[in-house]
Structure 1
Amino acid sequence: MADATTPDQATTPDQTIGYEQARDELIAVVGRLEQGGTSLDESLALWERGEQLAAICQQWLDGARARLAKATDQDVDSDAM
């Protein structure tokens, strides 16, 4: 797993990673937080990375939903002709 304490990662979403990669990293981050045993600073960095990863996943899901809606609308429009 990438170092969750990198300042750039804590402030700027990494939109170059795919949904599956973001989801898998988010699962790992949650696991580390649930295990405990980390310092407050490390826990905060993990939390911030988790929030960032959740946002990336949501963007991917929103994009997929929009593509499906567009495809469905096109199907409905072509059926009307």
Structure 2
Amino acid sequence: MTDAEKRAGAPAEGLSYEQARAELATVVERLEAGGTSLEESLALWERGERLAEICQGWLDGARQRIETARQARQTSST
């Protein structure tokens, strides 16, 4: 993980937002398709929850970076 990713609130798992989102979409497709055992469905659900947390972490980090940049711009313009 790069320093920029750490500052942006990147998840420890090392997945980019795009990677986590794509894997989450695959998990959802597999769950919706059915045909998996209960155990596999639970494992997919748990993985989906973790991937959703990773995506949210990236979004929260991006939101914070934007807010910090806005505050810096307002401070410098006053």
RMSD: 1.1
Compute the TM-score of the two structures, normalised by the length of structure 1: 0.81
Compute the TM-score of the two structures, normalised by the length of structure 2: 0.84
Deviation of 1:14 (Å): 5.4
User: In the aligned structure 2, how far is the partner of 1:28 from the partner of 1:14?
Assistant: 21
User: In the aligned structure 1, how far is the partner of 2:71 from the partner of 2:34?
Assistant: 47
Map of 1:25 onto structure 2: 23
Map of 2:75 onto structure 1: 77
Question: RCO greater where, 1 or 2, for CA within 8 Å and sep 6 or more?
Answer: 2
**Structure 1 residues not aligned, in runs of 5+:** 1-12
Could you list the structure 1 runs, at least 4 aligned residues long, displaced by more than 2 angstroms after superposition: none
Identity %: 62
Identify if the C-alpha distance between structure 1 residues 23 and 46 changes in structure 2 by more than 3 Å, giving closer, same or farther: same
Q: How many residues align?
A: 68
